[in-house]
Structure 1
Amino acid sequence: MRPPPLAALLRRLSSHPSESPAIHASLIKSSSLSSPIPATALVTAYANAGLPGAASRLFDEMPARDAVAWNALLACLVRHARPAAAAGAFRGMAAAGFAPTATTLCTMAKACAASRALRPGRQVHARSVLACQGDVILATALVDLYMSCGLVEEAMRLSMCTDCPKDVALYNAVISGCVENGWFREAFLMLGRTELNVIALTCALTACSATANLVYGMQVHCMTLRCGSTSGSIICNALIDMYAKCGRTMAARMVFDQMACRSVVSWSSMIGAYSHHGHGKAALDLFERMERAVPVVLPNAVTFLAVLSACAKSGLVDEGRAKLHLMKQKYGINPGPEHYACFIDLLGHAGQINEAWDLYCSFRGNQSELSSSICVAMLNACKANMDMVRGNKVAMHLLEVDPKYPGSHVLISNFHAAAGQWSESGEARRIILDKGLRKEVASSLISSVG
């Protein structure tokens, strides 16, 4: 039986990368892999199928390689989070006598951004100035590189000074980079210079959420209405989060109710909004509505964390216990440390310290499952119930689990202070100074933008 024609195999590779091993065998039978074109197509297919190891082995076996083959290998390694291997391949490409193309440099800029490798990133930038100046895709990758390394001013200068025609992707890279680095004012200014799109608007809403800036958030909401982007779940989820962070749960619910299609993120975000503002009953009602939703949307671990948090903030012990059971029995989701910490917090503030202690002790039997969040929740429960004996034991456990985190020592100091144990409280504070630990600087949700 004759093997399929080469063109048909290559088309099959492009549309069905999961069949790469079988097509690889056919290409070997037809002796087609002596040419770099089908071999390169197979390298790319292995990468698309999630098999970077197979792609690398095939590349090593290629009898002839060209610049396109090297670029395919680099793209594969960067895509699968292997920046060190990509750097080695880049050096190998140069040693083989191939000059980097714009595609090569763009891929390497992405690798440097992923590993926050500034020095080799600058080398990529220097090469791009010499060889590929004016390429907007490469300029966008370099902007993302500098943003990833926290060099916002340098990234913005590059975006303004590049002589390539600026497109939406370049502006989006600047806006998202500014938001990630906390340069919210600059993000809003840049938003006014670009064509409105989902990515830019979502980044702007993220900035509004981070600063609790309702004024700008409502302006961005108006922009989404003007460009017709409110039908998308990504924008709507960002709007729900923004209004929730700004304390406007009714506005968040309005956006939620107007959504044509709600994902698990949408339901979880709205339940979380009610939870954040202490509306426990509303959160539970919405969760029950989610269970009846058509089409079916299954809750995930994030959904249940929002539900348990709502129960904790509203003192709904029976409901919280039922939801923890439902999570395991009906949906098959194993609760994580954060779920148990939330339930211990609920029990502690409801005065049910014995049940909280029994749950805590079940983790003490398995040290690998005992997290700092569970210890903190139990310590706060002991503090709320003035249980000093158990609290002192938990404080020791917390130091065993997370000895270098200054917040642990602060919590222990506050626990002793609440019990009037001033010498122990002072000792916990002194440990912070003696070990050179630094507590995170507090920040305010009051907006500084505007």
Structure 2
Amino acid sequence: MWGGTVSFIISLLQRLSTMRELRQTQALITKTGLTDHPSVLPKLITFSALSTSGSLDYAHSIFVSTAMEDPFLCNTMIRAYSLSAFPITAIHLYNQMHHSNVKSDHFTYSFVLKACARVSSSFEEDGKLSQFVIARKGAEIHCSLLQSGLDHDLFIQNSLVYMYSHCGSIYIARRVFDEMTQKTAASWNTMISAYDRVSDFDSADSLLGLIPMKNVVSWNILIARYVKLSNIEAAKRLFDQMPERDAVSWNSIIAGYVQTKDYHGALELFREMQINGVEATEITLISVLGACAEMGALEMGREIHESLKRKKSKIEGILGGALVDMYAKCGSLNCAREVFNGMRMKHVSCWNSMIVALAVHGYCEEALDLFSVMETRLDEARPNRITFIGVLIACSRKGLVEEGCRLFRCMIDEYKIRPEIKHYGCMVDLLSRWGLLDEAHHIVKTMPLKANSVLWRTLLGACRIHVNVDLAEEAFRKIAELEPLRDADWVLLSNIYAEAERWDDVERVRKKMIDLGVLKQPGSSQIGGIVR
């Protein structure tokens, strides 16, 4: 009897295509008492974690309810997280696996090394220390696999080259590569890409000349190089010459067009990709949604969203963030909220897109409330520099001076984020907008970065509203030192003098404007230099 039931349930699991079917099957499994059956649980977790129609969050909830003693289940979850927008979780799971004395195999090491590489690649310029920590973790894993005698496994050797190169240890990556007794095309291409990533093109070309088997990946590396150098014409020529193309080829050239702000060209290439019958990947869609956001191409963005829903694809991570960002920048805030609320696992980019969108559209309290929710879920997404740009915009729009100052200190002291020029721009905008010109001026004068013209123009504009002639004159001089003055700068200074009834200065400025051929243009505004 039980044998027939198990066979029936396994046949159901093998035919799963949606999460609804999985939940129904799981209910049957629970009802029949087969939850811990060794042939059943792995299939449940594998579909949920790795299928394009699955849910990694749901897989994790099943996984944590079991004892961590099955290497296959651990490997499945580590693999799933290494491929997801949350690769750091794969490293956490590996650590738990190690502490629970679950034996690691060559699959474990390959997946966690890939996770290390992806985590390291995600760090920004101010994350060098964290990148160093990840590199040390990768070296620790290397030592463990040496002790286990798996260091000669070809797949693991390729993973080591990949990990070390992405962690900035190019010299060690090359040592591992040179010590490999057997090399595949993947081995050569990984090492060549590593040199290209650090702009060591001589070493990359040297290996390209030695590679015994050039393939489509080798061509893709060259395209990626030209894209990195913003030489999109050379990249397109190479793309047109390729004897064979894959999705990565299309992704690279589309990303290149987006990088050089040729959004129309990117969307045209996407249409051409569809005509050629090449299946778009998540990376393709992220680039194309970015182009839609910048162009306001809401209809194409909606088409992509509807296509994802028809295919029952997972909308989470960076792809979900790109959808939220597209809808928000196209002015469809309700759709952005719908996508955001429907995501169970949200990458930091998704939180950022929603917080910034709410702040820019005037929903400042909602933006700050969402930030508070984000702070309760630091295991999922930790606020970064863009997050704080969003919350500082919200504070500025709402006039929450004390809260803005508190959050600025929190960013530095609690989250260890070094302020950039845009953060200082937000603070200058917040203080000057609400009449605290002395405090705003103090920030501009004492911040560790050189103030740009945007900050001085923010002060100049505030001087018109709050009538501070002395500061306006200083701001005007500073702008002139940094770049050629615009017509609007002269008009603004003239108006500030007029507000203060300093008519001689008004006459002097207007005479200068006539001499320079300055024309008064229709009014426009710029808020703190904040670019979403």
TM-score normalised by L of structure 2: 0.57
For 1:173, give the aligned amino acid.
S
Q: Which residue of 1 aligns with 2:492?
A: 415
RMSD over aligned CA atoms reads 4.6
Q: After alignment, is 265-274 or 46-55 more displaced?
A: 46-55
Q: Which residue of 2 aligns with 1:269?
A: 353
Following the alignment from structure 1 to structure 2, what is the Cα–Cα distance between the partners of residues 279 and 170? 40
Summarize the Cα distance change of 1:367–1:426 in structure 2 as closer, same or farther, 3 Å threshold: farther
Q: Which residue of 2 aligns with 1:247?
A: 331
1:121-200 correspondence to structure 2 within 5 Å: 135-148=215-228, 155-156=235-236, 158-164=238-244, 166-181=245-260, 182=262, 183-193=265-275, 194-200=278-284
Summarize the Cα distance change of 1:21–1:157 in structure 2 as closer, same or farther, 3 Å threshold: closer
Check conservation: 1:375, 1:398, Cα contact below 8 A.
yes
Following the alignment from structure 1 to structure 2, what is the Cα–Cα distance between the partners of residues 42 and 399? 53
Q: Report the alpha carbon displacement of residue 398 of structure 1 after superposing the two structures with TM.
A: 3.5
Q: After alignment, is 276-285 or 199-208 more displaced?
A: 276-285
Summarize the Cα distance change of 1:432–1:254 in structure 2 as closer, same or farther, 3 Å threshold: farther
Q: Report the alpha carbon displacement of residue 239 of structure 1 after superposing the two structures with TM.
A: 0.7
Q: After alignment, is 390-399 or 290-299 more displaced?
A: 290-299
Q: Which residue of 2 aligns with 1:292?
A: 376
- 1:344 aligns with one of 409, 428, 438: 428
Check conservation: 1:13, 1:19, Cα contact below 8 A.
no
- 2:393 aligns with one of 300, 309, 321: 309
Summarize the Cα distance change of 1:49–1:387 in structure 2 as closer, same or farther, 3 Å threshold: closer
Summarize the Cα distance change of 1:56–1:161 in structure 2 as closer, same or farther, 3 Å threshold: closer
Following the alignment from structure 2 to structure 1, what is the Cα–Cα distance between the partners of residues 437 and 346? 36
Q: How many residues align?
A: 369
For 2:477, give the aligned amino acid.
M
Q: Which residue of 2 aligns with 1:3?
A: none
Does 1:101 find its partner at 2:101?
no
SS in 2 for 1:261: coil
Gaps of 5+ in 2: 1-105, 114-136, 148-156, 499-505, 519-532
Check conservation: 1:271, 1:286, Cα contact below 8 A.
yes
Q: After alignment, is 252-261 or 409-418 more displaced?
A: 409-418
Following the alignment from structure 2 to structure 1, what is the Cα–Cα distance between the partners of residues 194 and 230? 26
Identity, % of aligned pairs? 27
Once the two structures are superposed, what CA deviation does each residue of 1:184-234 show, in whole Å capped at 9, x if it has no partner?
Answer: 441331342321321111111111101011111111111222233343211
Following the alignment from structure 2 to structure 1, what is the Cα–Cα distance between the partners of residues 160 and 408? 48
Check conservation: 1:253, 1:270, Cα contact below 8 A.
yes
Q: Which residue of 1 aligns with 2:407?
A: 323
SS in 1 for 2:426: helix
Does 1:358 find its partner at 2:435?
no
For 1:87, give the aligned amino acid.
D
Check conservation: 1:143, 1:155, Cα contact below 8 A.
yes
1:40-79 correspondence to structure 2 within 5 Å: 47=165, 50-53=168-171, 74=192, 76-79=194-197
Summarize the Cα distance change of 1:260–1:72 in structure 2 as closer, same or farther, 3 Å threshold: closer
For 2:495, give the aligned amino acid.
A
Q: Which residue of 2 aligns with 1:393?
A: 474
Summarize the Cα distance change of 1:326–1:22 in structure 2 as closer, same or farther, 3 Å threshold: closer
Summarize the Cα distance change of 1:296–1:220 in structure 2 as closer, same or farther, 3 Å threshold: closer
Q: Which residue of 1 aligns with 2:307?
A: 223
Following the alignment from structure 1 to structure 2, what is the Cα–Cα distance between the partners of residues 245 and 179? 16
Q: Which residue of 1 aligns with 2:316?
A: 232
Once the two structures are superposed, what CA deviation does each residue of 1:142-161 show, in whole Å capped at 9, x if it has no partner?
Answer: 44445556665665565455
Summarize the Cα distance change of 1:312–1:227 in structure 2 as closer, same or farther, 3 Å threshold: same
Q: Which residue of 2 aligns with 1:382?
A: 463
Q: Which residue of 2 aligns with 1:31?
A: none
Following the alignment from structure 1 to structure 2, what is the Cα–Cα distance between the partners of residues 276 and 386? 27
Gaps of 5+ in 1: 1-9, 27-38, 104-131, 434-450
Q: Which residue of 2 aligns with 1:87?
A: 202
For 2:220, give the aligned amino acid.
T
Summarize the Cα distance change of 1:178–1:328 in structure 2 as closer, same or farther, 3 Å threshold: closer
Q: Which residue of 2 aligns with 1:118?
A: none
Summarize the Cα distance change of 1:389–1:238 in structure 2 as closer, same or farther, 3 Å threshold: same
Summarize the Cα distance change of 1:204–1:363 in structure 2 as closer, same or farther, 3 Å threshold: closer
Q: Report the alpha carbon displacement of residue 67 of structure 1 after superposing the two structures with TM.
A: 12
Check conservation: 1:357, 1:378, Cα contact below 8 A.
no
Following the alignment from structure 1 to structure 2, what is the Cα–Cα distance between the partners of residues 169 and 42? 22
Check conservation: 1:412, 1:425, Cα contact below 8 A.
no
SS in 1 for 2:210: coil
Check conservation: 1:18, 1:49, Cα contact below 8 A.
no
Following the alignment from structure 1 to structure 2, what is the Cα–Cα distance between the partners of residues 195 and 40? 27
1:20-35 correspondence to structure 2 within 5 Å: none
TM-score normalised by L of structure 1: 0.66
